[in-house]
Structure 1
Amino acid sequence: MFDGPASVGSLLRAAPPDRLPEVTAEHLRARYAADRVEVLLADLSLNALVPVLDPEGPVGGPVEQRCFGSQLPINDPRPDGPARLLLPLTVWGDRLGVLSLETEQPATRELTADLAALAGELAMALRTADRDTDRYHKVRRRQRLTMAAELQWDLLPGRSLNGERFRLAGALEPAYAVYGDHYDWSITGDRLTITVLNGHGDGIEASLLTTVAVNAMRNARRSGAGIVEQGELASDAVYSRHGGNAYVATLLLEVGLTDGAVEAVDAGSPKAMVAHDGDIRPITLDQQLPLGMFGDNRYETQKFQLEPGDRLLVASDGVHAAAPGGRPAYGTSSLLTALRRTRLQPPSEAVGTVIRSLREYHDGLDAEDDAVIVCLDWLR
C-alpha cells in the first residue's frame, strides 16, 4: 500500500494525464477510507467550481467557494455523518480548484496537513497534464470560446503567482470572448517582469497581433534581454507584419523584488497606480509610441519606487476608459472605489472584485472592449 503525499506524487507521475482525478480518488479511498471524493476546477471566469469525477454533479457551493477564496483547508463537520474536508488545489499561488472528500477518520491537524500536501501534488500534476489532455480544459469552460479567446487563454502564464516577497494576480474579461488585451509575467531570481498589452482592433486579428507581440517579447526575455530590447523586438515584429496599420499598446515593468525599484517602458494605454494604506496614487510616466506603430520605434526606461506593503495595479483601457452608455469613464472614480474595497483582499481576490465592479458599471450593456487588470503586492 502507498502512504503519504510523496507516494501520491509517484502514482500521479505514472498515471495517464487524463486519469489523475481517478488515481487520486482510489488512493484516498485505500489510504484514508475516503468517500464522496470530488475534484472541482474553477471555470475560466472564476464564477463556478465544476466537478471533474462526476460531470453531472452539482457545482461547488458556498463552502467550496470559501475554501477556494481563502486558500485554506476547511473541515465541514456533519453532525450525523463523516467529516467532510475541502483542500485548495494551488500551484505557486495559481488557484486551480478544490479537492473535496469525506472520511471516517478524525479530522486531526496531522490528517489535514497530509491531505493538504496530497492536494498540492494533485494540483501540480493537473497543471502539467494540461499540455497533454483536453479533459481539464473542457471542464473549465462553461460555454464555447471564440477562436480569439482560445488563442489568448493558451498564451496566458497563469492567473496567480506567489513568491517569498510578492503576491501577483491577473484577470481577463470577458473570459469567453476576449480579443486583444493580455498580460504576461515571468520571475527569474530577484527580477519580476510584468507586461500588460492592448492589441489594436478586435476579433481574431487583434488576438493574432497580441500573440506576435507576446512571443517576440518572450523571445527577447528568454535570450537575456531587458524590457527595452523586449519592447523593441516586439515593435519590429509587429511592424514587419502590419506596416504600421496595427499596433499594440503596452506597459512593460521590471520589478526588483529585493529593493522595490521598478523600471518601466510605457508604450501605450495601460495605466498603473499604487495603493498604500487606503491611499491610491497614479504612476505618471512619459508615454512612448505603441509597439509596431513605426518601423524604428526605440524606447527608454523610466523608474519609480515601491515601498514595503505597496500594491501596484495595472489596468488596460478596457478597464480605466470604459464608458458604457455615455457614462463617465470607469477610471474617473468608480475604479478607485472598487480598488479601495480590495484593501484587505489578496491580489487573487482583488482582481475579481474589480472585474465584478466593472460588470456592474456596465449595467447590462455589452462591453465595447475587453479588459485586463493585474495586481502585485510587494511584501519585501
Structure 2
Amino acid sequence: MTITVHLVDYEQRLLRPMAFPGGPTGPAEALEVDTTLAGRAYQQVRIFPAEGPGAPRLWVPLVDGAERLGVLEVEVDDVADLHDPGLRTQCRWLSMLLGHLVTLLSQYGDGVDRTRRPEKRTVDAELIWSLLPPLTAGVDSFVVSGVLEPRHSVSGDAFDYALSETTATLVVLDADGRDVRSGLVAAAALSAHRSARHAGLGLVEQARAMDETLRRQFDGDVSATAVLAELDLVTGRLSYLNAGHPRPLLLRGGQGGLPLAGGGCRPLGRGLDEVTVGEEVLQPDDWLVLYTDGVTGASDAGGAPFGEPRLVDFLRREAAAGNPPPETARRLVKAVLAHQGGALRDDATVLLARWAHPDRILP
C-alpha cells in the first residue's frame, strides 16, 4: 500500500502532492479540483474508489475537524480492497490524524505553505493571512467557512470568528485602500475586536474598541466598514451590528435572501455616536452570509455588477443542491472571479455560516 498526500492550494483549484524526505524527487502532477475524482472527494468530503487505469486506489478527503486540507491517494494491491469497510474506516482515521499533523506543521515551518502557495504573496497579503483563523470550523450545530480573493494580493479585507458550545461570534471588515496601510488598518481593527471579545464585552463595546483604536493609531485619517454578529447556538437568536458595510443576508428554506438591516452605526474610525443592535431569530438550517463589496461590486466586461440578486440566486441554488458552506464559499468566489474575467479589481471576502437546532448534527 502506498499513500500520497495532496494538499489543496489556497485558491482551492488544484490538489498538489506534498514532498517528503526520501520520497519521489521528480515533478508530480497537480490535480484539478473541478475535473478529477480526487477533486470530487475533496468537494464532497467522501471517499471515492478508482479502479483504473493504473493501480486501484482510494481518494480519501484530508480534513482537520471541519476544514478541508486536500486528499489522500491510497494505492491498494487488489481491487477488492477498494470496497473493504475496515480499510475505509482506517483511512478515515488516518485522514483525521494526518490532517491534524498538517495543520500543526504549518505553524512551525514553510513546507506545507510552499506546497499550498506556489505563487508569491504581497507584503500586505502576508499581513492579512497572518491574522486569519482556519478557513472552516464548526461545532455540532454550526459550521462557518470563509474565503477571500485575490489570495496573493489581498490588502484590506479580513474576517474572524470564535466558537464555543453556546455562542458563535463573527466579524467581517473592509479597510480603506489597497496597500500595506490598509492591511495595518485591518490588523489594528481586528486586534481591537479580539481584545474586546476576549474581555467578554458585547457587540457595541467591541465596535467602540475598534473605532477608538483606529482613531487613536491613525489620527482619525482612516476608516473601515464591518459587520459584527453574535449567535446564540442554543436558541438561534442572532444579534448584529453593521458599521457602514454591505447588509448581511439571511437565506431561509432555500428561498431568497433576506437583507438584515436592523442594527448599525457609522464606519469604524469616524467616531461612533448612536449605535443600534439588530436582532433576528434563526430557524434550523438558516444560512447567514457576511461579505464585502468586492463580491457584489465585481463587474463584467460590459460593466454589469455581480450584484446582490445574483449573489442571492447563487446561494439559493447551492443550498438547494445540498452543498455545505465550505464548498459553497469556494464555488462563490470562483463565480465572482469568472464574472470579472478572472481578475478582481477589489478585495472580495465572504463568510458563510449555517445553523441547525442543537438536537441536530450538521454534515
Deviation at 1:110, TM superposition (A): 0.8
Q: Which residue of 2 aligns with 1:10?
A: none
Aligned residue for 1:373, secondary structure, equals strand
Structure 2: distance between partners of 1:241 and 1:361: 37
- Residue ranges of structure 1 left out of the alignment (5+ in a row): 1-33
Match of 1:48 in 2: 14
In the other structure, the counterpart of 1:88 is 61
Q: Is contact 2:62–2:69 with CA below 8 Å preserved after alignment?
A: yes
In the alignment, the residues of structure 2 paired with residue 198 and residue 57 of structure 1 have an alpha-carbon distance, to the nearest angstrom, of: 38
Letter aligned with residue 97 of structure 1: G
Aligned pair partner of 2:71 in 93, 98, 103: 98
Output one character per residue of 1:324-362: Cα deviation in whole Å (capped at 9) or x when no partner.
Answer: 557243224322232222122111111122212211221
1:359 counterpart residue number: 337
Q: CA deviation at 1:298?
A: 6.4
User: Do 1:274 and 1:312's aligned partners in 2 also have CA atoms closer than 8 Å?
Assistant: yes
User: 1:270 and 1:133 mapped to 2: Cα distance?
Assistant: 37
Cα–Cα, structure 1 residues 336 and 379, in superposed 2: closer, same or farther, change >3 Å? same
State percent identity of aligned pairs.
27
**What does residue 175 of structure 1 align with?**
151
Moved over 4 A (4+): none
1:116 has 2:79 as partner: no
The answer on whether the counterparts of 1:42 and 1:48 sit within 8 Å (CA) in structure 2 is yes
Paired residue for 1:320?
296
Q: C-alpha distance in 2, partners of 1:243/1:285? A: 30
Please state how far the C-alpha of 1:112 moved relative to its aligned partner: 0.8
More helix by share: 1
| 1:231 Cα offset (Å) | 1.6
Residues of 1 paired with 2:305 and 2:245: CA distance?
14
Alpha-carbon contact 2:264-2:277 (below 8 Å) kept: no
8 Å contact 2:239–2:277 — kept in the other structure?
Answer: yes
TM-score by length of 1: 0.85
Q: Answer yes or no: is the 8 Å Cα contact 2:185–2:214 preserved in 1.
A: yes
> 2:196, 2:125 → 1: CA distance?
25
* RMSD of aligned residue pairs (Cα, Å): 1.9
2:112 to 136, 145, 154: 136
For residues 251 and 123 of structure 2, what CA distance do their matches in structure 1 show? 36
Q: CA deviation at 1:139?
A: 0.8
CA distance in 1, matches of 2:247, 2:62: 32
Q: What TM-score, normalized by structure 2, do the two folds share?
A: 0.89
Question: Aligned match of 1:235 in 204, 211, 214?
Answer: 211
In 2 relative to 1, CA 76–285 (structure 1 residues): closer, same or farther, beyond 3 Å?
Answer: same
User: Does 2:328 align with 1:350?
Assistant: yes
Paired with 1:64 and 1:145, the residues of 2 have a C-alpha distance of 27
Q: Distance in 1 between matches of 2:278 and 2:149?
A: 29
The C-alpha deviation readout for 1:144-175, integer Å capped at 9, x for no partner, is 11111111112111111122102221110111
Asked if the contact 1:68/1:95 (under 8 Å) is kept, the reply is: yes
Q: Write the mapping of 1:254-293 to structure 2, written as runs, cut at 5 A.
A: 254-280=230-256, 281-293=258-270
Q: 1:4 corresponds to which residue?
A: none
